[in-house]
Amino acid sequence: MKDLFIIIVSAVLIHNIILSQFLGVCPFLGVSKKLSSALGMGAAVTFVMVLASTITWIIQHFVLAYYEIEYLQTIAFILVIASLVQFVEMVIRKFSPALYKSLGVYLPLITTNCAVLGVAILNVQTEYTFVEGLFNSVGNALGFTLALVLFAGIRERLELADIPASLQGLPIALITAALMSMAFLGFTGLL
């Protein structure tokens, strides 16, 4: 149980998928203008990441490794992720049209979100057991959501701040992201 706790804390704070490993930066910068959009994207990525990691672990161990075709790993994993994203997109469109509209083009971009694929591959490369891989994917999804929500909250506050014209928009967002990344590096000695 202690090992699983360490895996989750490490994934959320120490090895944050966005702020430490720099995977999934596109939705991080694109969807983080409003807190509601960030929460919706975080929930969607959490669902896809956990389910994709689970399914890809099973495919890796019971299909690819069994038939010694591990070289098809990336293709198989991308197909699983693309299918899950299509499912999530249909569900969000049906039950929350406002969230679907606010996420816009970034929802289909979960398919190419390197954070989702990265976690699935990292689970295999680090040779996690099924349960450890599940906890790692939950931790990474929570870390992704935490970074996205924190960044969205800061960006909403920055819109009300008096910022020089040359720094408004993307420049101040990138500076803020860099400062958040450095702040998360402070968690490195935690475990």
Residue 52 CA to residue 122 CA, distance in Å, equals: 12
Mean pLDDT lowest among 6-15, 40-49, 108-117, 120-129: 108-117
Q: Which two tokens stand for residue 188?
A: 């490195």
Q: Which two tokens stand for residue 11?
A: 């994934």
Per-residue pLDDT tens digits for 64-98:
999 999 999 999 999 999 998 888 889 889 998 98
Per-residue pLDDT tens digits for 9-23:
999 999 999 999 999
The mean predicted confidence, pLDDT, of the chain is 92
Residue 41 CA to residue 44 CA, distance in Å, equals: 5
* DSSP string for 89-146: HHHHHHH-HHHHHHHGGGTGGGTT-HHHHHHHHHHHHTT--HHHHHHHHHHHHHHHHH
Report, as an integer, the average pLDDT of 95-121.
Answer: 84
Q: Do residues 40 and 58 make contact, with C-beta atoms less than 8 angstroms apart?
A: no
pTM over 0.75: yes
Residue 105, pLDDT > 80, answer no
Report, as an integer, the average pLDDT of 91-116.
Answer: 83
Residue 55, pLDDT > 90, answer yes
Looking at residue 88, its pLDDT comes to 84
Q: Which two tokens stand for residue 50?
A: 């956990």
Q: Which residue has the tokens 């010694």?
A: 68
Alpha helices per DSSP H over 10-72: 25-30, 35-59
